[in-house]
Amino acid sequence: MIEVKNLRKEFKQNRADAGLLRMLFGRVPSETVTALEDVTFNVEEGEFYSLLGRNGAGKTTTIKVICTLLLADSGTVTVGGHDVERESSSVRAMLGVSIRGERSVYWRLSGRQNLAYFGRLYDVKGAALRNRIEEIGEIVGLSERLDDYVERYSMGMKQRLAIGCALIHRPRVLLLDEPTIGLDAASARDFRDFISHELRARENVTILYTTHYMHEAEEMSDRIGIVNHGRIVAEGTPSKIIGMVPGNSVVTIDAKNAVNIDLSTLSALDSIERVHAESLDSGSSKIRIEAVVGTEVPVADVVHRLTSLGAEIGNLSVSRPTLEDAFLRLTAD
Amino acid sequence: MSSNLAIAMHVAKKELRVQIGYRNKFIADVLSHVIGIVPILLITLALSGSSLNDIDGITRANALFVFLGYAAFMAFGFGTPIMIYTGMAWGISEELQTGTIERNFLAPVSRHTIVAGIGIYYACLYAFHVTTLMILAFFLFPSTAEIPVGNLAVAGTAALGLIALSAGLGLSSAAMFLMIRDGSLFLLFVHRPFMILSGAIFLIELLPGPLKLIALVNPVAYGVDAFRWAFSGHGTLEDPWLEVGIVWAGALVAAIVGVIVLGRVIRRQSRTGELSRI
């Protein structure tokens, strides 16, 4: 549905450290910043694809090129087979976009007036528009507040209205740029539930989502593209991304009577990469067992061996690498 | 797909709704022209040493002469934010600040149409101003003389020409606002000279030589003069119909230049990223 190939974009930025006189009368020195170095990815129809990256990694620039607000220096982008530069109008008709959500709606109009205004720009009118407004109100959970001025909405409600405006013309593709920024934890959770359950279930749209919140991307995405310095450095399902870096499953055990146990009996088990033990002041031991990358520690076997060697198992915890671990490794400079 | 005109009208309606949302500003926009006429009237009356109650025929004619010039010029005159060509730019500027212009430009309609739609709102406001000033003129300076149909035709086409000219200039000024994100230089170097050198406030005949020359290439001056002639019978420049022609020629040029300039600015800003940097 979305094909992005070898996208490159540079910006010239004026430097802020020029002298006052030079800023007033001279040519302000500028520097070239590469926002997108070489971005290539595809989003399939019906897929939820997240672009994950640090601030300034190039996520929003990519979205802006796709939605025709920005022209790329080189590379191609097509949406539903339409080129974003040559067939921008067709592309815009297919897209629903929410960039800087709460600021993209008119605060001095009501929610209903906003929906009606944007609907008409997309050629939705008459009874179809009225019905769609009611439907959208229900989808975004604003039915009761549609006739209130937007300025009275909470930030989360404004975000939802912005998405409602993006959905008004039944777009085939929805671009959401960091929609949960500024939301409190509860609102962000509600918002994710809304995206995952209401939106995907009812509208069946392809979604391209940008965020720098790992848990959001992991929770909602079919696939993730990790952007760093204007390049996609990793791409795949969340579990595939997690498996890409040398993090592994780790089991930590507090055990009594384990000081003299030969740990090589644990190392000999399949999937065990490393075993480390340290004695605690209490007389017990803390044993840390790391699995080979991409595998799990065979907890039952480990417990069986330890108890058969006379150890008494106290606390046992299992931890796995997270998307955040993978992200930090993949985007490390 | 709806026609561009239908979309532009839709944008204008939204602009009206948004402006009404800022109630105090809206009231000021609607009434500022009436307030603006007061100093003009006072200066005119003071210069003639009369008051409204006992002005003689000549003074009344003079006052009407100035008043009509002001009425014709209203879109370029004192109520800066409510005039079409700056209004269109102000509209853009406001939307840039609130962040909604970006959202509008994401719709599958011409970006010129969005800007023009904002201009339509200000054009309607202009028409309202001129109409109310004309009504006021007839109350303040009642005349028994019949105005020939030909004169009314001159006034109408001159007024429409001024609206069209304003719309063309509006596209250019909107482009300038998009480009420099600041209206002060535009107001100082474009808007003020247009206002001062139109003959609406300072008669062109009374301007010093070089300024008079500049005023004579200002198409607005001819619109003002033709409009004035239609109701007072006094004009100072050219034949009224020729003046109307000049205004419309200016409007055509301004429209072509405006469309090209706005298109280029939007294109350029799509490259630099300025179009979506808020």
Structural domain boundaries of chain B? 4-276
**pLDDT for res B86:** 63
* CA A76 – CA A40 distance, rounded (Å): 9
- The two most distant CA atoms of chain A are separated, in Å, by 84
pLDDT attached to residue B73: 57
Any B CB within 8 A of A309 CB = no
CA gap A198, A128 in Å, rounded = 21
Q: For residue B76, what pLDDT is reported?
A: 43
CB proximity A163 to B under 8 Å: no
Interchain pair A113, B17: CB under 8 A: yes
**Best to test chain B binding among A73, A77, A92, A120 (most B CBs inside 10 Å):** A120
Residues of B in contact with A117 (CB under 8 A): 10, 14
Q: Could you say which of A71, A90, A99 has the minimum Cβ distance to residue B270?
A: A71
Residue B81: both structure tokens together:
């934010």
Task: Annotate A196-225 with b (16+ C-beta within 10 A) or e (fewer).
Answer: eeebbeebebbbbbbbbbbebbbbbbebbb
Do A230 and A259 belong to one domain? no
Minimal Cα distance from A103: which residue of B?
Answer: B99
pLDDT of residue B11: 92
**Looking at the partner chain, which of A11, A104, A113 has a beta carbon nearest the beta carbon of B100?**
A104
Q: Provide the H-helix boundaries in chain A.
A: 20-25, 59-66, 88-94, 111-121, 126-139, 155-167, 185-193, 200-203, 214-220, 238-243, 264-267, 299-308, 323-330
What pLDDT is attached to residue B51? 55
Residue A271, Cβ neighbours under 10 Å: how many? 17
pLDDT of residue A121: 93
Residue-number span of the structural domain to which A305 is assigned: 250-321
* ipTM beyond cut 0.85: no
Quick one: closest CA in B to A100, which residue? Answer: B99
Cβ-nearest to A122 among B18, B102, B107? B107
| Chain B hits for A89, Cβ within 8 Å | 108-109
Q: Which residues of chain B have pLDDT under 50?
A: 75-82, 278
Q: Which chain A residue has its CA at the smallest distance from B98's CA?
A: A103
d(CA B122, CA A308): 88
Same domain (yes/no): A102, A163: yes
Residue B278, pLDDT score: 45
Contact (CB<8Å) A108/B21: yes
pLDDT, tens digit, for every residue of A70-100?
Answer: 889 999 999 989 999 889 889 999 999 888 7
Whether A149 has a pLDDT exceeding 90, the answer reads yes
For residue A246, what pLDDT band results from cuts at 50, 70 and 90? Answer: low
| A255 and A162 both lie in a single domain | no
Question: The domain spanning residue A10 has which CATH number?
Answer: 3.40.50.300
Say whether both A286 and A159 belong to one domain: no
Does a structural domain hold residue A226? yes
Q: Is residue A326 part of a domain?
A: no
CB A53 within 8 A of CB A226: yes
Q: Is the pLDDT of residue A42 over 80?
A: yes
Q: Are residues A264 and A176 in the same domain?
A: no
Question: What does the pLDDT read at residue B61?
Answer: 63
Contact B133, B83 (CB under 8 A): no
The total domain count for chain A is: 2
CA angle A8, A14, A17 (to 5 degrees): 135
Say what the pLDDT of residue B2 is.
64
Specify whether A215 is located in the same domain as A129. yes
The DSSP line for A7-59 is EEEEEEEE-TTS-HHHHHHSPPPEEEEEEEEEEEEEE-TT-EEEEEE-TTSSH
Site of tokens 């532009």: B8
Does A272 share its domain with A182?
no
CB A293 within 8 A of CB A246: yes
- Chain B contacts of A110, Cβ < 8 Å? none
Residues A300 and A156 in one domain: no
- Cα(B128)–Cα(B122) distance, integer angstroms: 10
Residue A122 located in a structural domain: yes
Phi, psi of B48 (to 5 degrees): -95, 0
Angle at B49 between CA B47 and CA B55, to 5 degrees: 110
Interface of A with B in 14-73 (CB under 8 A): 61, 64, 67-71
Q: What is the CATH number of the domain that holds A298?
A: 3.30.70
Residues A24, A168 share a domain: yes
Give me the residue label for tokens 């204007």.
Answer: A230
**pLDDT for residue A14 is more than 80:** no
| B7/A120 touch (CB, cutoff 8 Å), yes or no | yes
Helix axis angle for A126-139 and A155-167, nearest 10°, is 140
pLDDT at residue A40, rounded to an integer: 93
The answer to which of A165-174, A222-231, A237-246 has the lowest mean pLDDT is: A237-246
- Taking residue B232's Cβ as centre, other Cβ atoms within 10 Å add up to 22
Query: From edge to edge, which strands make up the β-sheet containing A95-99?
Result: A82-83, A74-79, A2-14, A30-43, A231-236, A223-228, A48-53, A206-211, A173-177, A95-99
More confident position, B123 or A286: A286
Q: Are A171 and A317 in the same domain?
A: no
Together in a domain, A225 and A254:
no
Q: What is the CA radius of gyration of chain B?
A: 19
Q: Could you say which of A236, A260, A285 is where a domain stops?
A: A236
Q: Is the same domain home to A156 and A262?
A: no
- Residue B80's pLDDT is what? 38
% of chain A residues with pLDDT over 70: 94
Q: What is the dihedral of CA A136, A141, A147, A148, to 10 degrees?
A: -140
Choosing from A236, A259, A287, the residue where a domain stops is A236
Residue A237: pLDDT over 70: yes
Least confident of A22-31, A195-204, A293-302, B212-221: A22-31
Sorting pLDDT into bands at 50, 70 and 90, what band is A190?
Answer: confident
Mutate to test the interface with B, among A91, A95, A121 (most CBs of B within 10 A): A121
Tell me which of A136-145, A234-243, B69-78 is least confident: B69-78
